[in-house]
Structure 1
Amino acid sequence: MKSIDSIYYRDAGSIRTARGVSARARKAMYDLFISEFAPDHSVSILDIGVSEEDGLEANMLEQQYPWPGQITCAGLGDGAALRSAFPKVSYVSISAGERLPFQDGQFDIVCSNAVLEHVGGPSERAFFLAEAQRVASSAFITVPNGWFPIEHHTAVPLLHWNPKFFRFLLKRTRFSYWTTPRNVEFLSEALLAKEWKGKKTLKICKTGMYLGPLSSNLALIIR
């Protein structure tokens, strides 16, 4: 079974310049993380949903962070490729939709990039965020902005602004994987704020690349 990452790189990631643009967006997200949390050598980080794929934009935290020994990576695979690329990090295999195999408060910060939109519907997102808060006192979670004009996983413009139309038109194309809500949801700032209403302190920031006032990504900052 192919991973979400491999399907992405087959689709939007295969377009010339797409991976370079993605790398710049992810560097902007990394810079926002450093700016918001100012972590030092003592801060422990859990990175949920690391990629087994290689590339400029893959695993930006592991590429850039000056204290990789403080990072524990969690992913669905065996982690062999990631351990080879980043030998100083730790790796733990996890199962989708299940409780994380870590103690309460084991980490200072949970990071997760481009995972929340793939976990399922509102109840699955709530569970994912609850687990992130259980194992760490703070979290930095980034997702594609559903109102960005270019859909991240297919590079098809504008259609995703009407999810039903997007799924209907692309159902029988090579992009059919992305037409199932379980595989990708189109998340917006308003939707995330509504789902999080009344819960722990949350700030939602625009980040990534910009087209006018529209950002490619959103960052959920939980303290």
Structure 2
Amino acid sequence: MSRLNALRSRFVDAPDSLGAKARARRWNWFAQSFPDLSEMSVIDLGGTASAWLRAPVRPAHVHVVNLEKPPAELPGWLRADVADACELPAAILDTKYDLVFSNAVIEHVGGHLRRQMFADSVHRLAGRHWVQTPYRYFPVEPHFLFPGFQYLPIAVRTSLLRRWPLVHTPTSDREAARTIVMEVELLSITEMRHYFPSSQIRFERLGGLVKSVIAVQAR
């Protein structure tokens, strides 16, 4: 492992990393926000089955919706389907859940109209929700671990992605790198308030700075 890759592991990926500790705090905050979670039916828009299998919390039932094919075998409390969270099939939209959960997905769906469709799905599926997204103005872009990455021109970001070793999935291909760069659009607090006007907007902080924004409807 290179020194820079070891640095990424130390700060993001390793079990004792800063990222892992932040995720643990977020799970704890999530559980405190919904004390009856163990009795709830949850739909996770854009999540993964593996994340719930590792999670320190266990709802009564979790339905994961993602564009990627799920594992073939899952425990009885966990279901996974391939679907677009912005354009869910009627069979899912017409199902009532206790809670919608989404972690760092809305910034990937593609533009304002698609984000609005995503938010509309959240509001239709359940009366309660927890929707988290990284904050646009945190100084280090969380997907690429590069200071100010989100403010740079697309061409510069593309070139950096092809060479920067701290990204999760590096690529040397220019077209692939450009696609990855253009698929991430971080949101502001104002945008989150627009998509979730009746929600409480909470802030996850690091070093006193807002690191992520969470729209919470707990009742």
* Interval containing the TM-score (normalised by the shorter chain): 0.7 to 0.9
The 1-side partners of 2:5 and 2:118 are apart by 26
Secondary structure at the counterpart of residue 30 of structure 2 = helix
Aligned to 2:36: 39
1:152 CA drift (Å): 0.8
- Which stretches of structure 1, 4 residues or longer, exceed 6 Å deviation after superposition? 11-14
1:153 CA drift (Å): 1.0
Counting aligned pairs with the same residue, the percent is 23
Secondary structure at the counterpart of residue 172 of structure 1 = helix
Secondary structure at the counterpart of residue 47 of structure 1 = strand
Q: Which runs of 5 or more residues in structure 2 are unaligned?
A: 163-176
The 2-side partners of 1:43 and 1:97 are apart by 23
The 2-side partners of 1:171 and 1:45 are apart by 37
Secondary structure at the counterpart of residue 44 of structure 2 = strand
Q: Which runs of 5 or more residues in structure 1 are unaligned?
A: 1-10
Count of aligned pairs between the two proteins: 195
The 2-side partners of 1:187 and 1:13 are apart by 29
Secondary structure at the counterpart of residue 64 of structure 1 = coil
Alignment of 1:170-189 (within 5 A): 170-173=157-160, 174=162, 176-180=178-182, 183-189=183-189
Asked if 1:168 corresponds to 2:168, the answer is: no
Counterparts in 2 of 1:159 and 1:147: CA distance versus 1, 3 Å = same
Which of the two has higher C-alpha Rg?
Answer: 2
Secondary structure at the counterpart of residue 26 of structure 2 = helix
Q: Work out whether residues 48 and 64 of structure 2, in 8 Å CA contact, stay in contact via their aligned partners in 1.
A: no
TM-score normalised to the size of structure 2?
0.76
Secondary structure at the counterpart of residue 16 of structure 1 = helix
Counterparts in 2 of 1:179 and 1:40: CA distance versus 1, 3 Å = closer
Among 56, 62, 76, the residue aligned to 1:64: 56
Aligned to 2:81: 92
Counterparts in 2 of 1:216 and 1:66: CA distance versus 1, 3 Å = same
The 2-side partners of 1:13 and 1:188 are apart by 31
Aligned to 1:191: 191
Counterparts in 2 of 1:77 and 1:87: CA distance versus 1, 3 Å = farther
Partner letter of residue 181 of structure 2?
A: T
